[in-house]
Chain A
Amino acid sequence: MAMDSSVKKNIDLTQIEQICKEHQGRKGDLLVVLQKIQTLCGYVPKAVLPVVTQRLGATSSEIYGVLTFYNRFHLSPRGKHTIRACRGTACHFNGSLEILEKMREHLHMGPKQDTTANTLFSIEEVACLGACGIAPVITVDEEVFGKLEPENAVEIISRYEEAEKGKEG
């Protein structure tokens, strides 16, 4: 599922209403609804909870339980680009930890911080992207980059940074 993690400052509750309406009264569709909301907003904002509760009949605690159980859900706004660093076995044995650390260092991110201060990037550690043949691997949004050295990973991020600067200028 394409999860465009662009940040939407204003949450459009009418669109959220629309999504929930399609699943009216079907608590079992909770994951699907939350995935759709995340695709729309880039994260699941607290403001949507009353709508979801009312339409689907799930309690706030049930919704919160689901949101915190699954790694893919986010409760705060994400960076414009999502970097997923694979931390699977093949990548680990090929130095994925160093790549992750180099990227964090380049982006001035602390160990627990997942989004950069300028909200351009979010970094996620992923258990395995299943592309072990070209380990170590990262993805930026939906693009896959393999056979990396720490320097390449930094270069890739720099390219995105340059592109963003270009847009501003």
Chain B
Amino acid sequence: MRERVSRFGKEQGMLNFTIEDLRKTRDRARLRSTLKEDGYRARINVHTGTCGVGSGAMKILDTVTEEVNRQNLKNIEVATSGCAGLCSREPMITAEALGLPPVKYIDLTPEKTRQIIQEHFLQGKIVEKFALGEIPFFKLQVPRVLRNRGAIDPENIEDYIAQDGYEALYKILTQMTPEQIIEEVRLSGLRGRGGAGFPTAEKWEEGRKYKRFPKYVICNGDEGDPGAFMDRSVLEADPHAVLEGMAICAKAIDSHEGYLYVRAEYPLAIKRLNLAIERAKKLGVLGKNIFGTGFDFDVWVYPGAGAFVCGESTALMYSLEGKRGMPRIKPPRSVEAGLWGQPTVLNNVETFANIPQIILKGGAWYSSLGTEKSKGTKVFSLAGAINNIGLVEVPMGISLRSIVFDIAGGIKGGKKFKAAQLGGPSGGFVPESLLDTPVDYESLEATGAIMGSGGVVICDQSTCMVDAAKFFTNFCVEESCGKCVPCRVGLQVLLKKLEDLVEGKGEEGDIEFLKSLGEHIVKSSHCGLGQSAANPVLSTIRHFREEFEEHIRDKHCRSLQCTALIRFQVIEEKCKQCGLCLKACPSGAITWEKKQPARINLEKCTKCKSCIKACKFWAIE
């Protein structure tokens, strides 16, 4: 087996790292990070996750470094860390200074940054107008998995150790039997955070039961659901927590080799993981003879190659074996015969990231939050038509309404809520009437949606539900591996019908056809992808049937999204004669004079919908 695992490079040499060394490192790192008069008096923490970088965080970092050097500010430390959670307000820094509370500054530009350095750090005055005040976004969250987000430098292992990192691993290696580890996890009530919600302890216990060696631990970081970015953020902001969780699992099931399968679309996460593994092995908290206890656990990062279906566990394992990632029929389950036919425990990123805290603080601590069947917290990525876009961690049992209207700050631009999309292409749409549903596995499933991996996209009234169903079906058509007929062919027929509806070619009976075909695909497909691929269609029909009917009967799209169903006419009663549409039109098709309703010349109109987007009064249909 050894030759198989050495494919990613040479083994690192390592020291015999003891608990005393860990504690010394921890204390040193804590001391280093404490602001003090005779050391660093202040710290500028620039958040450089993917969202931050995409919004210009590197420019902010350059400005900060430049200013600190130019003014020779020796007692200010410039630090970087992962995402702070509020992606829509990036670029963001956290400013810490002696005598002032920590402040998050948002929506930064180089100019604002210079002003903040001047006033906050040199004059000791908080720049209120750029600061993020106290908002429910952070107040209602319980950061457990995300406890270190934006606070530690993910590329510095000492930062993680300062937060009690690798203490849990030491504890289980020296003070707990594998049975006790599994018992603690059972007590926590933790269920798989990848979406299906299988009890983690049960999976580990199964994995332990089989006595064929080697066994493998796999972390599924193939977060493919469009609209989900929890795992990316966790891997980017706190990679060691995931590695520690994997090592604990390895001890519990008696495995010595682990793999992290991460999407190739997440280059920053892959880079940080590789770095984290290298540092951890160098220190001796991963690799051979961990903490001198004789326990070996080695782990490798494996970048995916762009196939959504590889998020399915059996497909993922085939991909790790260098094959096409096509799911197989279960049983046998992976715990019995997984990677290379050996017993394998596969968990999601968030599941593993929960483990170290469960070990340190106890299963009872973890299960003190949540509902009867869903314990602890869940990380959600919130996106779409809301004011506060970002990553949140909430106690299980919180209502969707609270997530949308309190944490996410409601709908952007004063528009109306239409639906919450949960679980991506395997999930469904939750309408306004079901917003009081508590967040737990069973309640969400009852609405026709699923907990899923935690992607939540909020739609306002400008999102057409038929188009949304088409969007997800199209996604599943593209990503179907092609192995079984219901998924490969059925989805294409489903898509064709939805395209007809969107183009105004719908006929009576289409809804029944979509429903019956969708149900067949769910029932007869081979793997999780196919069995859930029709969920978006079924749930939109269930909750938004009237929109389907309008598309078919009235050839009308109330969201003004389906171009073929828009007449591009100004409704004179609704037109406030403001002229905004004239300014927006790129093809000179609109005529408008003051105090007159606008007119659209259909001969010149290219149907680009710029006017519809510009009109605040829904006066163009």
Contact = CB atoms under 8 A, between A and B. Distances in A.
Nearest to B269: A130
Given A130-B50, A147-B55, A32 B226 contact: no
A55 interface: no
B389 to A, nearest CB: 4
B216 interface: no
B4 A26 contact: yes
Contact of A66 (B228, B323, B385, B455): B323
A112 B381 CA distance: 33
A115 to B, nearest CB: 17
Given A73-B306, A89-B471, A132-B87, 8 more contacts: A30-B323, A87-B226, A130-B266, A131-B229, A132-B229, A132-B389, A133-B229, A146-B54
Contacts of A98: 608
5 closest A-B pairs by beta carbon, nearest first, are A133-B87, A88-B226, A71-B306, A144-B54, A70-B305
A70 B307 contact: yes
Interface in B485-500: none
Interface in A16-63: 22-23, 26-32, 34-35, 58, 62
Given A128-B265, A130-B223, A142-B267, A70 B55 contact: no
Contacts of A129: 50, 265
A131 B263 CA distance: 13
Given A127-B475, A134-B87, A88 B267 contact: no
Contacts of A72: 264, 304-306
Contacts of B7: 22-23, 26, 29, 32
Contacts of B580: none
A23 to B, nearest CB: 6
B259 to A, nearest CB: 12
Contacts of B229: 128, 130-133
B426 interface: no
A88 B381 CA distance: 13
Contacts, number: 155
29 contacts: A1-B264, A23-B7, A26-B7, A28-B321, A31-B322, A32-B8, A35-B303, A71-B307, A87-B226, A89-B424, A89-B457, A89-B472, A93-B384, A93-B457, A98-B608, A126-B265, A127-B479, A128-B224, A129-B50, A129-B265, A130-B228, A130-B229, A131-B87, A132-B455, A134-B54, A134-B389, A145-B54, A146-B51, A147-B55
Nearest to A125: B478
Interface in A123-169: 126-135, 137, 142, 144-147
Interface residues of A, number: 48
Nearest to A31: B322
A128 B307 contact: no
Contacts of A134: 51, 54-55, 87-88, 90, 389
B324 interface: yes
Contact of B308 (A3, A92, A127): A127
Contacts of B472: 89
A135 B383 contact: yes
A130 B232 contact: yes
Interface of B is mostly: mixed
Interface in B468-525: 468, 471-472, 475, 478-479, 481
B227 A27 contact: no
Contacts of A92: 226, 471
Contacts of B326: 69
B348 interface: no
A89 B389 contact: no
A126 to B, nearest CB: 6
A111 interface: no
B374 interface: no
A28 B339 CA distance: 11
Contacts of B459: 93
Contacts of B266: 130
A82 B304 CA distance: 18
B463 interface: yes
A130 to B, nearest CB: 4
A126 B325 CA distance: 18
Contacts of A71: 305-307
A104 to B, nearest CB: 15
A69 B307 contact: yes
B421 A132 contact: no
A90 B457 contact: yes
Given A2-B267, A127-B226, A134-B54, A89 B421 contact: yes
B457 A73 contact: no
Given A72-B306, A130-B265, A1 B270 contact: yes
B258 interface: no
Interface string B220-234: 000111111100100
Contacts of A22: 7
B3 interface: yes
Contacts of B302: 32
Contacts of B389: 90, 132-134
A28 B322 CA distance: 5
Contact of A32 (B265, B322, B475): B322
Contact of B303 (A1, A127, A147): A1
B53 interface: yes
